[in-house]
Amino acid sequence: MSSVLTDEKIPNNVNLGGDKRLQRALEAWQPHFIDWWKQMGPVGWQERDIYLRTAISVEANGWAHFDYVKMPDYRWGIFLEPKDPDRKHGFGDFQGQPVWDEVPGEFRNMLRRLVVTQGDTEPASVEQQRNLGATAPSLYDLRNLFQVNVEEGRHLWAMVYLLHTYFGRDGREEAEELLMRRSGDADKPRILGAFNEPTSHWLSFFMFTMFTDRDGKYQLAALAESGFDPLARTCRFMLTEEAHHMFVGETGVQRVVKRACELTKQGDVRALGGVDLPTIQKYLHLWYSLSLDLFGGEVSSNAADAFAAGLKGRYKEDRYEEHKLIGSHFAMDVLEEGKVVHKDIAMRNALNEVLRSEYIKDCQRGVDRWNKTIREEGVSFELKLPSNKFHRQIGMWAGHCFTPDGEMIDAATWQARKGEWLPNEADETYIKSLMHAVYEPGKMASWIAPPAKGINGLPNDFEYVRV
Ligand SMILES: [Fe+2]
Ligand SMILES: [Fe+2]
């Protein structure tokens, strides 16, 4: 395996050169991807030098090659974790049997839907974030935005590789469709709701990378268990990149929180040009609840089928003793005749909720760290994750109204009070009024604290983007 950038058009560790048909097909898709990137990628920065990390191999030292690069010249490659020839199905009806290297005919549609749904989120987030470069709070943040964007582009490549390699003509058609849908478009929207929501300012960007990219981590982790081995190996490598996206989100919000605390001690936060803690709480409510929806319905036969087929497992399946899940149950809240009841649900049907529960614990760890910052600043305020029933648009809580504490309320009360819990128009207007570009190395906008350290051991005032 090479640990330097190769001359190939598409850097890869899948021996693309050994399959000329596939190589030609992907080389034909590549210019369509570049067109999409130029049309729908970051606005205004395509010709600038950005200090970016490029994956050049899957070894520990190989996937992080740092250098200045213009984004359209970024080397989007195809990288899979090395194959384990002895790997067996770890769960479901085929547990213990050798994993599959080809798509089994009976599960082809299910598998394609999983790959396409995951693939669709990748370009969607690039589209959602495309205007943020005009208002970055620092060069450090501007560079992190672009790093996330190019890696989402690479994740699209990862899914397109699977579609082209394993799904024949309909896979190639799906790969084209991935470049045709548009986030937020009325006629051709992206597949999942949160990926059609505008990410119109940096507070939403940080919340998105904290909460929505974290959904991605859990979906990828569940697919990394897949008995379709190429999918598992692809997702394992994507997870290494995903960690950085959540770092950007968690530390981004943490820095806004820190600044809010500093200004709280000086007086009126908004008058001083900061984002006050109650407003941060509202955006947390919004992006967390949108992200919970991405796990799908609480009781789901699709989730049961994907588990039974060995296609999508649980988060870190190894931690569990039992991997067939026949006859076991999961205790969870469900809605029955308009009332919330706690009930045992057949485990396979509850797997979306099982994955969501793991995600919630992970989010809580991040919120705990934000609250630690608030305590260290000596400010009395606590950020909280709302109930998983609050502001849901998918699953059994959708169409019912709950307070952030999880108390069921009627629609009139919801209408009267939702502006206390979710960003209202005045909040959006205020946050947007704060968004002014700061492009001097080392300088920060008024509403955010500097990062604890720079990228790749470099100082905060390094010229991360050559303006
Ligand atoms: Fe991604
Ligand atoms: Fe991501």
| Predicted confidence (pLDDT) per residue in 241-299, tens digit | 899 999 999 999 999 999 999 999 999 999 999 999 999 999 999 999 999 999 999 99
pLDDT on residue 6:
56
- The number of angstroms, rounded, from the C-alpha of 384 to the middle of its chain's C-alpha atoms is 21
The pLDDT of 207-236, averaged and rounded, is 97
Measured distance CA(444)–CA(461) in Å, rounded: 10
pLDDT for 379 beyond 90: yes
State the average pLDDT for the chain. 95
At 65, is the pLDDT very low, low, confident or very high (cuts 50, 70, 90)? Answer: confident
pLDDT on residue 1:
38
Cα separations in angstroms, 28 against 14, 124, 157, 158, 164 = 18, 22, 13, 16, 11
CA of 352 to the centre of ligand 2 (A): 20
CB 50 within 8 A of CB 145: no
Helix or strand or coil: residue 356? helix
Beta bridge mates, 408: 402
The pLDDT of 163-178, averaged and rounded, is 97
pLDDT digits (tens, 9 = 90+) for 449-467: 999 999 999 999 999 999 8
pLDDT on residue 4:
44
Measured distance CA(303)–CA(297) in Å, rounded: 9
CA of 400 to the centre of ligand 1 (A): 31
pLDDT digits (tens, 9 = 90+) for 118-141: 999 999 999 999 999 999 999 999
Helix or strand or coil: residue 306? helix
Ligand with minimal distance to 245 CA: 2
CA of 165 to the centre of ligand 1 (A): 20
pLDDT for 3 beyond 90: no
At 59, is the pLDDT very low, low, confident or very high (cuts 50, 70, 90)? Answer: confident
Which residues are close to ligand 1, an ion, with C-beta < 5 A? 122, 152, 155
Ligand with minimal distance to 208 CA: 2
Measured distance CA(75)–CA(55) in Å, rounded: 8
The pLDDT of 38-46, averaged and rounded, is 96
- Least confident span in 40-49, 160-169, 192-201, 437-446: 192-201
The pLDDT of 187-202, averaged and rounded, is 94
Q: CA dihedral in degrees (135, 139, 142, 146; nearest 10)?
A: 150
Helices then strands (H, E): number in the chain? 12, 6
At 41, is the pLDDT very low, low, confident or very high (cuts 50, 70, 90)? Answer: very high
Token pair of 27, please? 């080389």
pLDDT on residue 61:
66
pLDDT for 306 beyond 90: yes
User: Using only C-alpha atoms, what is the Rg of the chain?
Assistant: 22
Beta bridge mates, 346: 329
pLDDT for 148 beyond 90: yes
Ligand with minimal distance to 148 CA: 2
CB 358 within 8 A of CB 390: no
Q: Find where tokens 């190019």 sit.
A: 150
CB 43 within 8 A of CB 454: no
Ligand with minimal distance to 209 CA: 2
pLDDT on residue 118:
96
At 7, is the pLDDT very low, low, confident or very high (cuts 50, 70, 90)? Answer: low
Cα separations in angstroms, 434 against 201, 275, 325, 398, 448 = 9, 9, 51, 33, 11
CA of 443 to the centre of ligand 2 (A): 26
